[in-house]
């Protein structure tokens, strides 16, 4: 190094402002002492690295940064003066700085000189730091998050988790309306978003099923939270969308529900066998009578033949109804099918599979349904499962009782449809009542039941926006109460 080069190197190193020199590809060749102090890097750590190392990564691809660049028609790499450029220290915190960028040729090679000045105590610096932190949090959350702007709900921001769920890159989303990304957003998501901006009321923990571009034809189960963002004038201008994929959890829950249903069928198997064998025996007997009438040499009594055929038809219908109900009860429900159902009809349907068992154990079932009670909006299979389970538990509680009665009362009170299943059994202590809805908790002996029935029933009623509660007194029976809001279409 000659004297001129030594003097230049000394001037650069002792300058009061940070000076960085790069080649035309942005590779750092010179990094003076002021730059070392500003960025907390030793020359050995930063020399030969790209200048982008000193700019927060999130600015390279963010929508906000691109918009700012387009608005000023400038970008780093073109000579000029720039104010408010964001720098990033080695240990992470960002800061604001002024930049003077010059371009010169040395030995026919283009080099860039960056002269940087830290903007101390600038009010915008704290906002930049907060933005950096929030962006780091957003990108590392294990749940999907997006910010949707304007009347078309365009993606202003989205994290990698949600982009991966949709099967697209972050860049594929930015600036596009949600209907351009999600095939069924127009009918399944946009109405909710419009309502949020109109009312300011967020949507909390909504469960729904939708197809995503990542896997067409295979719907996934999602839970979302949609929260409005207000501007300084308190006007709603954007929505924060938080999304969780619960497909695997839903499938696991469905398997548990199915297991509990099959266990219930196993417990009822003896009664079901008798329930089916009884009409089959009647059918066989009446068929033999008809055959004897047909084979006899006397004139056929048409009235007797029709009477016996009518009995056969009724017993076939009864058996068919039992088998149909058994099939409906045991089938696995993948998607909910909610409709309006008459309350009395639901109660009577839930007794079909247990009718003979209740009769043979001398249990009297008393049904009392209030006149003009509104219909229940529910999934038939799930709701029958709840009632069947409550009746089965009431039956088991009566095994040692002198009075064996189950009362099923349905009424409408305080805008709620209520169904009480009451037994005259042994009752429960307050300690047992606190545990009765816990998964796998059971008062039965080992091998009798799964301990899942009441836990699953509780979840089904909660999913229908209702409540399932218990009230009991030792020696005086137990009451399980279902309470559902009218038109509960949550």
**pLDDT of 390 above 60:** yes
Side by side, the strands of the sheet bearing 80-88 are: 28-31, 18-23, 109-118, 94-106, 80-88
pLDDT of residue 446: 42
What's residue 411's pLDDT?
94
Look at residue 305 and tell me whether its pLDDT is greater than 80. no
* Mean pLDDT along residues 277-306: 74
Over range 349-369, report the average pLDDT: 82
pLDDT at residue 483 above 90?
yes
Angle CA 322–287–300, to nearest 5 = 140
- Interatomic CA distance for residues 478 and 470, integer angstroms: 7
Q: Name which residue leads in pLDDT, 45 or 83.
A: 45
The alpha carbon of residue 299 and the mean position of all alpha carbons in its chain are separated, in whole angstroms, by 72
Closest CA to 18 of 100, 75, 105: 100
Residue 341 pLDDT class (50, 70, 90 cuts): very high
What pLDDT score does 325 carry? Answer: 61
User: Within 13 Å and on the Cβ side, how many CA atoms surround 468?
Assistant: 24
Q: What is the DSSP string of 131-174?
A: HHHHHHHHHH-SSEEEEEETTTTEEEEE-HHHHHHHTS-HHHHB
Region label for 84, one of left (φ > 0), alpha (ψ between -120 and 50) or beta (otherwise): left
Residue pair 99/82 in contact (Cβ under 8 Å)? The answer is: yes
Assign 67 a pLDDT band (cuts: 50, 70, 90).
very low
Would you state the structure tokens that stand for residue 387, as one six-digit string? 């009632």
Average pLDDT over residues 277-285: 73
| pLDDT tier, 349 (very low <50, low <70, confident <90, very high otherwise) | confident
| pTM attached to this predicted model | 0.43
For 430-467, give the DSSP string.
Answer: HHHHHHTTSTT--SSPTTS--S-HHHHHHHHHHHTT-E
Average pLDDT rounded to a whole number, residues 322-327:
67
d(CA 125, CA 89): 14
Least confident of 21-25, 62-66, 246-250: 62-66
Q: How many CB atoms lie within 10 A of CB 426?
A: 17
Mean pLDDT confidence for 41-67? 67
Count how many Cα atoms sit within 13 Å of the Cα of residue 286 in the half-sphere of its side chain: 19
Residue 21 neighbours by CB under 8 Å, 6+ apart: 28, 29, 30, 111, 112, 113, 114
Evaluate whether 152 touches 197 at the Cβ level (below 8 Å). no
Helices then strands (H, E): number in the chain? Answer: 19, 17
Range with the poorest average pLDDT among 227-231, 262-266, 383-387: 262-266
Mean pLDDT confidence for 409-414: 92
Is the pLDDT confidence value at 57 over 60?
no
Q: Are 382 and 326 in contact (CB under 8 A)?
A: no
The 10 Å Cβ neighbour count of residue 3 is 7
Q: Give residue 358's pLDDT band: very low, low, confident or very high (50, 70, 90).
A: confident
Residue 6 burial by Cβ neighbours in a 10 Å radius (0-12, 13-18, 19+) = exposed
pLDDT greater than 60 at residue 58: no
- With bands split at pLDDT 50, 70 and 90, how would you rate the model's confidence at 373? very high
Give CA separation, 267 vs 17, 35, 106, 271, 280, in Å.
Answer: 84, 78, 91, 9, 22
Indicate if the pLDDT at residue 113 is higher than 80.
Answer: yes
Residue 26 has phi, psi (to 5 degrees) of 85, 10
Write the CB contacts of 355 (distance below 8 Å, at least 6 apart in sequence): 271, 275
| Tokens standing for residue 165 | 């769920």
More confident residue, 274 or 172: 172
Confidence of residue 33 (pLDDT cuts 50, 70, 90): very high
Give the pLDDT confidence score for residue 65 in this predicted structure: 35
Mean pLDDT of the chain: 78
Condensed to tens digits (0 to 9), the pLDDT of residues 461-475 reads 888 889 999 999 888
Give residue 265's pLDDT: 59
Instruction: Check residue 240 and give left, alpha or beta (phi > 0: left; psi -120 to 50: alpha).
Output: beta
> Which domains can be identified in the chain, with CATH numbers?
3-130 (3.30.450.20), 141-245 (3.30.450.20), 252-485 (3.30.565.10)
Q: Is the pLDDT of residue 76 over 60?
A: no
Q: Is 456 exposed, middle or buried (0-12, 13-18, 19+ CB in 10 A)?
A: buried
Task: At 229, list the tokens.
Answer: 């963002």
**Is 55:87 a contact under the CB 8 Å cutoff?**
yes
Separation between Cα atoms, residue 449 and residue 462, nearest integer Å? 22
Helices (H), 331-429: 343-351, 355-360, 380-397
- Which of 213-222, 367-376, 381-390, 481-490 has the lowest average pLDDT? 481-490
Structure tokens at 381: 């299979």
Higher pLDDT, 277 or 485: 485
CA 105 to CA 294: how far, in whole Å?
Answer: 118
Closest Cα to residue 193, out of 228, 157, 158, 159?
228
Whether residue 385 has pLDDT greater than 80: yes
- More reliable by pLDDT, 161 or 237: 161
Q: Does 333 or 43 have the greater pLDDT score?
A: 43
| Cβ neighbourhood burial of 239 (10 Å; 0-12, 13-18, 19+) | buried
* DSSP β-bridge partners for residue 227: 240
Answer yes or no: is pLDDT of 98 > 50: yes
Work out the average pLDDT over 164-187.
90
Find the range with the poorest average confidence among 61-75, 81-95, 114-128: 61-75
Return the pLDDT at 332: 56
66 and 91 Cβ atoms separated by less than 8 Å: no
pLDDT at 62: 36
Contact predicate 196/239, CB 8 Å: yes
pLDDT bucket at 217, cuts 50 / 70 / 90: confident
Task: Please tell me the predicted confidence (pLDDT) of residue 176.
Answer: 92
Give the pLDDT band of residue 127 (cuts 50, 70, 90): low
User: Burial of 157 by CB count in 10 Å (0-12 exposed, 13-18 middle, 19+ buried)?
Assistant: buried
Mean pLDDT of all residues in 63-74? 36
Confidence bin at 192 (pLDDT 50/70/90): confident
Single out the residue of 152, 173, 175 nearest to residue 162, CA to CA: 173
Instruction: Show the tokens assigned to 466.
Output: 């209702």
């Amino acid at each position: 190094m000659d004297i001129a080069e030594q003097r230049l190197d000394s001037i650069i190193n002792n300058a009061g402002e940070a000076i960085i020199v790069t080649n035309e590809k942005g590779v750092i060749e010179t990094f003076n002492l002021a730059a070392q102090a500003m960025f907390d890097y030793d020359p050995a750590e930063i020399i030969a690295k790209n200048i982008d190392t000193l700019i927060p990564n999130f600015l390279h691809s963010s929508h906000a940064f691109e918009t700012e660049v387009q608005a000023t028609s400038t970008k780093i790499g073109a000579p000029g003066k720039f104010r408010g450029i964001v720098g990033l220290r080695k240990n992470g915190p960002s800061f604001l700085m002024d930049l003077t960028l010059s371009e010169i040729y040395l030995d026919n090679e283009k080099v860039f000189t960056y002269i940087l000045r830290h903007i101390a105590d600038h009010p915008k610096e704290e906002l930049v730091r907060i933005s950096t932190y929030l962006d780091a949090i957003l990108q590392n959350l294990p749940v999907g998050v997006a910010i949707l702007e304007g009347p078309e709900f365009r993606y202003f921001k989205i994290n990698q988790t949600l982009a991966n769920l949709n099967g697209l890159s972050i860049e594929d989303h930015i600036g596009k309306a949600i209907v351009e990304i999600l095939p069924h957003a127009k009918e399944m998501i946009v109405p909710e978003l419009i309502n949020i901006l109109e009312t300011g009321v967020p949507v909390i923990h909504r469960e729904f099923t939708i197809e995503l571009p990542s896997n067409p034809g295979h719907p996934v189960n999602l839970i979302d939270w949609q929260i409005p963002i207000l501007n300084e004038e308190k006007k709603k201008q954007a929505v924060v969308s938080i999304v969780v994929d619960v497909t695997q959890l839903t499938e696991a829950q469905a398997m548990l529900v199915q297991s509990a249903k099959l266990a219930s069928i196993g417990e009822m198997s003896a009664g079901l066998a008798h329930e089916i064998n009884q009409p089959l025996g009647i059918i066989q007997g009446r068929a033999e009578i008809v055959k004897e009438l047909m084979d006899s040499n006397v004139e056929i009594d048409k009235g007797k033949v029709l009477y016996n055929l009518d009995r056969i038809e009724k017993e076939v219908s009864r058996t068919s109804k039992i088998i149909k109900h058994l099939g409906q009860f045991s089938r696995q429900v993948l998607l909910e099918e909610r409709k309006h159902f008459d309350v009395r009809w639901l109660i009577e349907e839930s007794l079909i599979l247990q009718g003979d068992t209740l009769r043979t154990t001398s249990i009297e079932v008393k049904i009392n349904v209030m006149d003009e009670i509104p219909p229940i909006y529910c999934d038939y299979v799930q709701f029958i499962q709840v009632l069947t389970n409550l009746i089965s538990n009431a039956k088991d509680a009566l095994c040692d009782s002198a009075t064996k009665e189950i009362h099923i009362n349905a009424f409408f009170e305080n805008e709620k449809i209520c169904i009480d299943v009451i037994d005259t059994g042994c009752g429960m202590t307050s300690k047992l009542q606190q545990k009765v809805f816990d998964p796998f908790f059971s008062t039965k002996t080992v091998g009798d039941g799964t301990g899942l029935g009441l836990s699953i029933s509780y979840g089904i009623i909660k999913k229908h926006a209702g409540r399932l509660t218990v009230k009991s007194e030792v020696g005086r029976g137990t009451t399980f109460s279902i309470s559902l809001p009218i038109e509960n279409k949550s």
